[in-house]
Amino acid sequence: MIREAMLARLAEHAGPWDVLVVGGGATGAGVAVDAASRGYSVVLLEGSDFGKGTSSRSTKLVHGGVRYLSQGNIGLVMGALRERAALRANAPHLVRPLQFVVPSYRWWDAPYYGTGLKVYSLLAGRHGFGPATILSHGEALARVPTLRPAGLRGGITYFDGQFDDARLVVNLVQTAAEQGAVTLNYVRVAGVTKTAAGDVDGVVAIDEETGLEMRVPARVIVNATGPFADNVRRLAVPDAPALIAPSQGIHLVFDRSFLPGTCGVMVPKTPDGRVMFAVPWHGYTLVGTTDTPIGEATLEPKPLEQEIQFVLETAAPYFEKPPTRRDVLSTFAGIRPLVARGGTSNTASLSRDHTVCVEASRLVTITGGKWTTYRHMAEDAVDAAARAAGLPQRACVTGTLRIHGWDPQADRLGARAAYGSDAAHLRALVEQDPALAEPLHASGAWDAAVVIWAARAEMARTVEDVLARRCRVLFLDAAAAYAMAPHVAAILARELGRDALWQAKQVSAFATLAEQYVVRGDVPGS
C-alpha cells in the first residue's frame, strides 16, 4: 500500500488490465477484492481518499434491516442477514454483535414490535447474533439507564451487527492489494476511451497530487462510484438516463453519557415512517438518521438545519435528559446511492436492493444496495463484468476470504481492537520509540503511532485522511480533531517528505472542513 510503488506498477503494466474499478468505497473495494481473488488483473482508482464518499458516513450497522421486513422485503432481509454473518466471520476485528433495546411507551408496542423482531431474529437462522425477547420496565432501564422512565412500560431487545465503516474500506483495499490488485487513491477518472466499435476499452485518469494525465486500458470497466455513478456513466453514454435517486442522511454525535452502557436504542417508527438508531460507538453516542431526497451528490454533503432538528426532536421523547444542539460534538452527512424507480419523490420507499447495469458500450455499473451487502454486490458485478468482457469464468471466493486485519480475539486489544492483527505493528512502532504512544488529545486513544501507521501502511495522504477515516476523530469530536490537526500535519509531513508550506495548507484546509462538522448556536440558525 505504498502509493509511489502502486503508480509505478500502473505505469509498467503491459497491455490492458482485466478489470478496472472506478470508485474506492465499499462497493469498489469489494469488487477489487472479488476480482483480484478470482485471479484477474485488477486496478482500482479512487478519485479522492478510500471511503471519502458514503462508505464512511453510514450508521455503522451490519444489519438485515428491520425496516425492510415491515415493507415485506423478506428476500432482501434474509440475504443481508447471511452477509452479516459472513462479514462477522471474515472481519471479526471490525464487526461485532450489538444489543438493541426498543423502548415501549404504549401497551401495544411490545406485542407488535416484539413479534416483528422475533421473526427478524428467526430469519437469521443459524447465523443469528442473539434472540429477541420482551423486557420489563426494570430490564429495559438496566440495559439503557438513560431512557425516560416516566411511562416506560418495558421494551424489546434484539441483536444486530456493528462495525467501523471507513476502517473496513481501508482493510478491503489492503486485502485487494494482497490479492495482487493495484489500488490508488487520489486518481480520478475523467474520461473513457473506446474502440472503433464504440466499446469502452480504458479510462483517462488524473493523478490529483501531480495533475498528471494517464491512459489506463482495460478489458472491462466497473463503475462503482455510488451516488456519482451517473456522472461516470455519462462519460461513456452522454445521454444516459438517471439511474440514481440520491438521498441524504445525517447523524449527530454526543458524548458517552447519553448511552453509557453497551446497548443501542432503536426507535421503530419516526414521524416520517422510518426507524432511528442511537448507538454507542468508539466511546461516543451516534444518533441518526434522516432520508432527504437531494438534487445532486457532492463529496462533502452538508447536514441541513431541518435534519438536525428532526434528529433532536425524534430522539428527545426517549431520553430522560434529551440531547440538545449544544451537546453535539460532531455531525456528518452521507448520500445513499438509491436506484431510481420512475421519478419517486419519497426516497424512504425506494428499495435498498442493488442493480448491475451493463451499457451497450459494455461499461458495467454496480449501485444501490447497502454496506452490509457489499460482498454480494461485488460478486454480481464481477460475474457480469467477466461475461461482458469474455474473461475466463472463475468462481467467487470471497464468501470465506479473510479480510486484512482478521483477528477473532481483537477485543483483547482494547483501544487498538479495530486494527486487529495490525495492532502488533503499532505495538512494534511504540517499542522502537515510546514517545509515539503519547496521546495526541486528552479525549481519545489516538497517538502518533496511528498516524505513522496510516501513512506507511494505509495510504493516508492528508490530515483529513488520518483524522476522518484512518482514526475517526472528525466523526466523533470535531473540536478534538481540529486541535489535533497541527500535530498530525507535522508527523505526516515527516513521513511523506513534505515542506512547511504543505503542512500549513493542510492545517488550514482541515480547519475549514472541521467547521462543517460543528453545530453552532443554542437556537437553530444562530
Ligand X SMILES: Cc1cc2nc3c(=O)[nH]c(=O)nc-3n(C[C@H](O)[C@H](O)[C@H](O)COP(=O)(O)OP(=O)(O)OC[C@H]3O[C@@H](n4cnc5c(N)ncnc54)[C@H](O)[C@@H]3O)c2cc1C
The residues of the shown chain that bind ligand X, judged by CB under 6 A, are 22-28, 45-48, 52-55, 57-61, 63, 188-189, 224-228, 232, 249, 289, 299, 334-337, 369-372
Which residue number, 212 or 500, has a Cβ lying nearer to ligand X? Answer: 212
Q: How many CB atoms are located within 10 Å of the residue 486 CB?
A: 15
Nearest to 415 by CA among 450, 364, 455: 450
Cell numbers standing for residue 341: 424507480
Which residue number, 329 or 377, has a Cβ lying nearer to ligand X? Answer: 377
Which residue number, 284 or 482, has a Cβ lying nearer to ligand X? Answer: 284
- Distance, in Å, from the CA atom of 91 to the CA atom of 238, rounded to the nearest integer, reads 39
Which residue number, 9 or 188, has a Cβ lying nearer to ligand X? Answer: 188
- Distance, in Å, from the CA atom of 299 to the CA atom of 227, rounded to the nearest integer, reads 9
Q: How far apart are CB 177 and ligand X at their closest, in Å? A: 17
Q: How far apart are CB 260 and ligand X at their closest, in Å? A: 22
Which residue number, 155 or 161, has a Cβ lying nearer to ligand X? Answer: 161
Q: How far apart are CB 183 and ligand X at their closest, in Å? A: 12
Which residue number, 68 or 446, has a Cβ lying nearer to ligand X? Answer: 68
Which residue number, 482 or 517, has a Cβ lying nearer to ligand X? Answer: 517
Contact at 8 Å (CB) between 440 and 427?
no
Q: How far apart are CB 110 and ligand X at their closest, in Å? A: 25
Q: How far apart are CB 478 and ligand X at their closest, in Å? A: 17
- Distance, in Å, from the CA atom of 132 to the CA atom of 97, rounded to the nearest integer, reads 13
Cell numbers standing for residue 359: 451499457
Q: How far apart are CB 239 and ligand X at their closest, in Å? A: 18
- Distance, in Å, from the CA atom of 408 to the CA atom of 432, rounded to the nearest integer, reads 27
Q: How far apart are CB 384 and ligand X at their closest, in Å? A: 15
- Distance, in Å, from the CA atom of 250 to the CA atom of 165, rounded to the nearest integer, reads 15
Cell numbers standing for residue 217: 486500458
Cell numbers standing for residue 93: 476485528
Rg (CA), the chain: 23
Q: What is the 8-class DSSP label of residue 17? A: E
* Cα 312–Cα 318–Cα 320 angle in degrees, nearest 5: 95
Nearest to 297 by CA among 246, 341, 339: 246
